Amino acid sequence: MSAPDAASGSTARAARARRAWLRDLRQVALFTGKRLLALFVTVLVGVYLTIVIANMGGQVDDLRLAQIEATIGEEVRADPGFFDLPSEERNEIIERRVQMEVERLRLDEPFIMRSFDYLQQAIRLDLGRAEQMHSDAGSRQVSMIILERLPATLLLFGTANLLVFVVSVFVALVLSRRYGSPGDRAVIALAPSSAAPGWFYGIFLILVFAFVFPILPDGGMVEVPPPEGTFAYWLSVLEHMTLPLLAMFISTIFISIYSWRTFFLIHSSEDYVEMARAKGLPERLIERRYILRPTLPPIITSFLLMLIGLWSGAIILEQVFNWPGLGTLLFEAIGYRDTPVIIGGVVIFAYLLAVTVFLLDLLYAVLDPRVRVGSGE
């Protein structure tokens, strides 16, 4: 390279950059593919475990059989059309109907067979038909029932999470700059309040804002009957969302601010940040390039981990606020012992978690240079 032609040098550099970029892309794709495969196996195992637990290893079938016999016996005995029949004939009818019901629910096959069947269907998200429940629109397809409830859950928890995440990171950045100020101390003092889950604050909020000062509804998602017009409808939803949102916000915000602030403080005392300060770089730039950029992967991780934790918490918060989401659905399904819906619900939860984990991996691959060069695990 003693006397290089400027033009050919620049093309060579461009080619090299493109090659590097392609290599990065290949690495990321490879990594993503591997993770996707691993996650798929993980979901497979997780869903199968769920199916086994949901069926109590087959014992639930006995319970269901007894229930079927009881209800059909009742039906036939209460039917005036069968009153004149002798009891043997009636018993025969009962038996035949029980047999039909057993075949409909495929209880005559061994559980092991059905479990793999369930698994295969669950993985394809073909969640089958509910045994007892139906969606509000009247469909008995489990996927329809779940689809009807999913938006409500996503709306509530998505909004709450985003709100908590954005507010806490922003406030934490401000506080870490004013470390030791009264606001900072207040957050430290308030952090232990997050020991209580959202539904706990929910009860208090309902008590105060729905009963003592009745200004907000105590539960549900919209008014009954739903108001006419899109705007009025969403206004009503917003009104119903306020309390659950607030409950989740209160229960997570302080601990979240506290941990971010601590995290930022630790990172802002790193040597390279001191170096940047010594160079006299403006504070904003230091924050963006020297503190936020290297801490981005952990921030994303913790955000997604928080999401994972909140999926579970959804059940109770939804129950307390009577929010027609997945959690309430799952709880109702368990009340009906409707195995397909239970499995469907848990499968969806498992998928949501898996998607969350996958997003995490993907973001890591994009954000963490070590993954791109292929040394990352």
Measured from the CB atom, the residue of 49 and 232 that comes closer to another protein is: 49
Which one of the spans 146-154, 160-168, 227-235, 310-318 is the region binding another protein (CB under 8 A)?
310-318
| By the rule CB under 8 A, 306 interacts with another protein | no
| By the rule CB under 8 A, 72 interacts with another protein | no
Half-sphere exposure of 137 (CA within 13 A, CB side): 10
| Whole-angstrom Cα Rg for the chain | 28
| By the rule CB under 8 A, 27 interacts with another protein | no
Distance (Å, whole) CA 201 – CA 217: 15
Near another protein by CB under 8 A: residue from 31, 43, 76, 145: 43
Q: With the CA atoms of 104, 107, 110 and 111 taken in that order, what torsion angle do they form, in degrees rounded to the nearest 10?
A: 100
Which one of the spans 3-11, 35-43, 71-79, 282-290 is the region binding another protein (CB under 8 A)?
35-43
| Phi-psi sector, 171: left (phi>0), alpha (psi -120 to 50), beta | alpha
| By the rule CB under 8 A, 335 interacts with another protein | yes
Buried b or exposed e, range 262-291, using 16+ CB within 10 angstroms: bbbbebbeeeebeebeeeeeeeeebbeebb
| By the rule CB under 8 A, 217 interacts with another protein | no
Distance (Å, whole) CA 159 – CA 241: 10
Site string (339-358) toward another protein, x via CB under 8 A: ---x--xx--xx--xx--x-
Number of residues that bind another protein (CB under 8 A): 57
**Residue of 220, 209, 251, 216 whose CA lies nearest to 319:** 220
| By the rule CB under 8 A, 320 interacts with another protein | yes
Q: With the CA atoms of 185, 190, 195 and 197 taken in that order, what torsion angle do they form, in degrees rounded to the nearest 10?
A: -140
| By the rule CB under 8 A, 179 interacts with another protein | yes
- Check if the beta carbon of residue 294 is closer than 8 Å to that of residue 267: yes
Enumerate binding residues for another protein (CB under 8 A): 38-39, 41-43, 45-46, 49-50, 53-54, 56, 60, 179, 188-189, 191-197, 199-200, 203-204, 206-207, 210-211, 218, 262, 265-266, 305, 308, 311-313, 315-316, 319-320, 330-331, 334-335, 337, 342, 345-346, 349-350, 353-354, 357
